[in-house]
Each structure stands twice: as C-alpha cells, then as structure tokens.
C-alpha cells in the first residue's frame, strides 16, 4: 500500500485540522487499511494521542479509540462491568497477535458488517465521542451516511446492563456468520444483530416485546422470531439470507435466556 505522507500528530486538535483541512486519513492499528490496500496520500498515525485506555468513570466505562481489541478482551474493568461479554465476543477475532494491533476506534469507524465489537456496543447503548466532545449514539453512528470526515476519541459504555453475546462461525477464527448481543437494564431490553452480513442493527420489535413481560425469558422464542422477521439479512459465501434468518431466531432466544439469568 502506498502512503505519501505519514505523521504522528501530538494532539487531537492537530489531528483534526489535518483530517478536516487536508484530507488526511486517520489510522488506528492500520490492519484493515493495510488489508484493503488503497493508496493514501496522507496518513495520520493516532498512536501518540494518549487514546489507549479503558477507564471506569462510575456510571460508564470509557474505551479510548486506540485501545486494542486485546486490551478490551482482557480488561478486568470491562469483565466485571459487563458479564464477560467483551472477552467472549472478541476472543475469536482471528488471533491474539492481530487483536494486539487492531483498535476500537478503527472497528467503530469502519462500521464493518462482520464486526463483533460493534454488535456489543450497540446492545449496550454505547456512545461514540468525537475529538471535539460531540457525541452520537452508536445506533445513529452505524446508520449515518459515510461522506463526512470524523475523528473518534473514545466510546462510552453505560454500566448496569445484564447482557449476553452469541455468534456462529464456520471456523473458530473466521468472520461470524451472524452475531447477536442482548442487554437488559430494569425493564428495558436491547437486541442487536450483526454480520447479517451488513452492519449491526437493533431489533426494536423484539426489545419492545421483551419489555412488556414480567418473565421475558419465557418469551425468548417469540423475541427471536420477531427479530428475525424485522431485520434484513443478505447472502454471502458464509451463509444465505434464509440461513441467517433461522440463525437469528435461535441466537436471540439463547441470548435473551442468558441475559435474563444474569439480571
């Protein structure tokens, strides 16, 4: 991959100025950018911005854009706050060595259909925080058009949900055929489904249905069917739309039951 100019900005403002005024391309781990191998005239390596952190801030946990997937996988802070679902979701992303490189910011920014992390962020009601403090809910961000440049500083994940993550892969470290995360806090439920193979989306109908019930676990099968009926699925080499739809109902059911047991 040809890169013309390569710089390490020393502040978020400096990085933002280069991105917005000169069309510079921000790089997290650079692994996906390297895999797609498009020439870049001006690259900004975000390594010196101090964005590699995972901080417990009381009601939420903040994950810096440069935290690696391995940092997230083995974080004790995240493990205790979110029932271990981050390590379950990320433990099959290729191998430890790749997870040592790829970043939270790159994963969110890329809005990849196959992303395991984004499915979890979506179900937990995470917020994407940009360089200037502006915010967007993860749900809005994943659906927003991709035309304007942006710089992600961190992702904030509210604490207090019981959650479950489920996925199916052909081989243990392949892309998921489908992934699901269900989270619940008080009477509110959030059901997110990713790798459809398009990017993760919430099933509002399944969530609303679960919120109406005293014993939502008893209604897990119905919630799975509602999510499968509501969301769109597509074909690719890993599975057909129909297969994914079937899988969706099963994985949502399992996730609802498991999340319910963790309340």
Ligand X SMILES: Cc1cc2nc3c(=O)[nH]c(=O)nc-3n(C[C@H](O)[C@H](O)[C@H](O)COP(=O)(O)OP(=O)(O)OC[C@H]3O[C@@H](n4cnc5c(N)ncnc54)[C@H](O)[C@@H]3O)c2cc1C
Please, what is the minimum distance in Å from the beta carbon of residue 40 to other proteins? 7
Using the minimum distance from each CB to other proteins, give the nearer residue, 10 or 135. 10
DSSP code of residue 197: S
Using the minimum distance from each CB to ligand X, give the nearer residue, 51 or 226. 51
- Residues of this chain that interact with ligand X (CB under 6 A) are 25-33, 35, 46, 65, 69, 93-94, 102-103, 105-107, 109-110, 112, 114-117, 150-152, 175
Task: Quickly list H helices, 124-203.
Answer: 138-143
Task: Quickly list H helices, the chain.
Answer: 12-22, 31-36, 69-73, 76-81, 85-90, 96-99, 104-110, 116-123, 138-143, 204-211, 220-230, 241-261
Instruction: Return the one option of ligand X, other proteins, none that residue 11 interacts with (CB less than 5 to 8 A, by type).
Output: none
C-alpha separations of 141 from 83, 135, 137, 155 in Å = 25, 9, 6, 11
Using the minimum distance from each CB to other proteins, give the nearer residue, 148 or 172. 172
Using the minimum distance from each CB to ligand X, give the nearer residue, 154 or 220. 154
- Alpha carbon distance 82, 67 (integer Å): 17
Instruction: Return the one option of other proteins, ligand X, none that residue 117 interacts with (CB less than 5 to 8 A, by type).
Output: ligand X
Using the minimum distance from each CB to other proteins, give the nearer residue, 2 or 59. 2
State the number of CA atoms in the 13 A half-sphere of 117 facing the CB: 26
Q: Give the nearest residue (CB) to ligand X.
A: 106
- Residues of this chain that interact with other proteins (CB under 8 A) are 1-3, 5-6, 27, 29-31, 33-35, 39-40, 43, 45, 47, 91-92, 94-98, 100-101, 172-173
**Terminal Cα-to-Cα distance of the chain (whole angstroms):** 48
Query: For the packed helices 241-261 and 220-230, what is the interaxial angle rounded to 10 degrees?
Result: 140
C-alpha separations of 107 from 90, 136, 155, 184, 188 in Å = 12, 16, 11, 24, 26
Q: What are phi and psi of 247, to 5 degrees?
A: -60, -40
Instruction: Return the one option of other proteins, ligand X, none that residue 151 interacts with (CB less than 5 to 8 A, by type).
Output: ligand X
Instruction: Return the one option of other proteins, ligand X, none that residue 103 interacts with (CB less than 5 to 8 A, by type).
Output: ligand X
Instruction: Return the one option of ligand X, other proteins, none that residue 221 interacts with (CB less than 5 to 8 A, by type).
Output: none
Instruction: Return the one option of other proteins, ligand X, none that residue 3 interacts with (CB less than 5 to 8 A, by type).
Output: other proteins
Please, what is the minimum distance in Å from the beta carbon of residue 158 to other proteins? 29
């Amino acid at each position: 991959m040809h890169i013309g100019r390569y710089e390490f900005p020393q502040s978020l403002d400096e990085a933002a100025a280069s991105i917005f005024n000169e069309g510079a391309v921000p790089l997290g781990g650079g692994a996906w950018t390297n895999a797609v191998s498009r020439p870049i005239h001006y690259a900004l390596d975000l390594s010196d911005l101090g964005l590699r952190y995972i901080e417990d801030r009381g009601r939420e946990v903040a994950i810096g854009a440069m935290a690696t997937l391995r940092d997230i996988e083995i974080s004790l802070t995240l493990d205790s706050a979110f029932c271990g679902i981050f390590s379950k979701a990320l433990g099959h992303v290729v191998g430890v060595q790749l997870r040592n490189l790829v970043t939270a910011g790159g994963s969110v920014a890329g809005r990849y259909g196959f992303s395991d992390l984004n499915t979890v962020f979506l179900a937990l009601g995470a917020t994407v925080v940009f360089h200037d403090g502006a915010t967007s809910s993860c749900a809005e961000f994943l659906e927003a058009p991709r035309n304007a440049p942006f710089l992600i500083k961190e992702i904030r994940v509210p604490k207090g949900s019981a959650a479950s993550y489920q996925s199916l892969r052909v081989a243990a470290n392949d892309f998921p055929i489908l992934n699901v995360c269900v989270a619940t806090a008080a009477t509110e439920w959030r059901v997110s489904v990713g790798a459809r193979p398009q990017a993760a989306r919430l099933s509002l109908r399944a969530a609303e249905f679960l919120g109406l019930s005293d014993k939502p676990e008893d209604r897990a099968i119905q919630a799975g069917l509602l999510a499968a009926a509501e969301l769109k699925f597509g074909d690719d080499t890993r599975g057909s739309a129909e297969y994914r739809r079937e899988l969706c109902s099963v994985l949502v059911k399992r996730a609802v039951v498991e999340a319910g047991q963790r309340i």
